[in-house]
Structure 1
């Protein structure tokens, strides 16, 4: 992987305790990058660091809520002190919603999803930019979603947050291209991760009900009237023409966009979905 230009680069990957984030952190390390693993899950983040170090790589971890400015500051300060600068930021951390239609979305769900999916990457990007500007270069990669390209892949809160990410990517690309900073995003289709279970870990009954709706009879979940959102979205999700991807496939696209191989790609939203977005 000597042609990537990632050797010795300082990289922050959020949501790297598992799934796409962990796969991306491992892949950056394999390319010779020094990786800061950021995640709310301390144990999982430390396991990712251990995997990188066991393979001969360089990594460290910061655990905490990335929508908290103090945690954001700790992530950036730790990376700069440990690695001597900042070259790549991967804003991957995120949660899903319960696929609620707007009328069924309460304040708590809306605020939590938007705070983690949109506000947190805004805060971290804002904190990282001065260091990239000082170095005269940088690559920022977001994990968007099919839900950022269409209205039929998730509930109101998640869809709005991912459309917000798409807009943020395009604005960053325009604002900072003359300063040597590129900003792009992947838009994953169905990917084999545990994001849904993690997002609803505090409400297993809702998770079970949602799974039943998506896999069960129309309009019914456990003998009760199904929530409107999942009932509507079920058919769209079932007819998704793309095959599910692995976290490693998504990670490969992230690393590509951060690498010198993508040096003239800026402001792009790259679907990694086996053609779902083309339908």
Structure 2
């Protein structure tokens, strides 16, 4: 059994601000709603998840390995009900702890924007096939919204394809803070991630345990929530097992904090 990490060193780029926070010289900023997708497939050696390396130029988590995701946009909150064949339930809203339709819409949109995969259903209720690259490009350019992409391709969203997994809130010392809902989704048959640059510097399928070993060896930098999600996925043998596990998971918010222990700055989860 892979132990779920409860602490991690503060990355070098954040240490000066962390010390300023501990000294009492900073005010916390509000956390923005965000969503990220644990995109899963069954590989030859077991369950695999799609990991991207974020561009080093990004202000938040630059150079880190992470799952596709991002903040909830105004359009995610304003999207129409017609985009859903299976809208979020009251239970989804309770588990996500926020605007469920906006959060799951953001998860689907970010997955399409960042790696070209859209968890959705066609008019016959089957998993969506590949979205044309031109539609993804239009979405990234702001020429069309997610609802427009769905309409162009005869697709609709389904909450059943996006299973709540966990919820992490950025520590109070950070200048950019996110209330991030992690959701699990199976790779739709016939779709495959592809990279176009932008926020990502590359992506790959990886077994969760292998990703953690590479992190321990210094080859994959990751923030604590990514490490924790990988550790939770590592014991699960298949996509089906992971989606079943998602049904019973506690999605209460995890609120890590920065502390100094023996002269080292650490982000840790408070029991």
Query: TM-score normalized by structure 2?
Result: 0.29
- Normalized per residue, the structure richer in strand is 2
Which structure has more relative contact order (CA 8 Å, sep 6+)? It is: 2
